[in-house]
Chains A and B, each alone.
Chain A
Amino acid sequence: DSGVTQTPKHLITATGQRVTLRCSPRSGDLSVYWYQQSLDQGLQFLIQYYNGEERAKGNILERFSAQQFPDLHSELNLSSLELGDSALYFCASSPSGVAYEQYFGPGTRLTVT
């Protein structure tokens, strides 16, 4: 157990809908990273937040957004969902914005039908 929690574990929804994925970092960690894992694209970095502020953006679609709250938990919002958004979504946390080690949560499996 890495200490990073994610909810829900599984999510099944229809095309066009909007969902919210939640992540709570390890106690004391200030940084949250979101990654998408699909069979054809592998693990891809989406976005990073550090102490409430957006720090870096990767291959995140405009239909996706995220935020980090004062209690440091983070939410990833996915809207206008398409079949191709079906994937595993992981968050990871690290102690600071420039700390090296990232510890992953258990992931949320999103299925868009």
Chain B
Amino acid sequence: GENVEQHPSTLSVQEGDSAVIKCTYSDSASNYFPWYKQELGKRPQLIIDIRSNVGEKKDQRIAVTLNKTAKHFSLHITETQPEDSAVYFCAASDPGAGSYQLTFGKGTKLSVIP
């Protein structure tokens, strides 16, 4: 089955700096890679996603890049703000048997220091 590794597990940045979180996946058949933000005690919230036919996608201060050859993808947050502080999860979709179940990384706790 799919295995997703996520690094780093914790990340502290100064407000206004950029943050980068990296993930690798094992199943070359995976074709969908979402990122979720989870604030303490709340639901995971989909913030951006990318499909395997695209190399990069941007949404305001957030961007995701995908390297299918190397089987890794990254989340980039620019001009970080205190409200970006949360746990971020990457995931990969295993399309086996017509299901798009998600395999998640272990999460990165991002702290933005004012």
A→B interface (CB under 8 Å): 2, 33, 35, 42-45, 48, 55-56, 58, 90, 94, 97-107
B→A interface (CB under 8 Å): 32, 34, 36, 42-46, 49, 51, 89, 91, 93, 95-107
Instruction: With A42-B106, A98-B98, A98-B99 given, name 11 new contacts (CB 8 A).
Output: A42-B104, A43-B44, A43-B104, A48-B101, A56-B96, A56-B98, A56-B99, A90-B43, A90-B44, A97-B98, A97-B99
Alpha-carbon distance A77/B101, docked complex (angstroms): 20
Contact A100 B43 (CB under 8 A): no
- How many Å from the CB of B11 to the closest CB on chain A? 17
Alpha-carbon distance A104/B34, docked complex (angstroms): 13
Contact B101 A104 (CB under 8 A): no
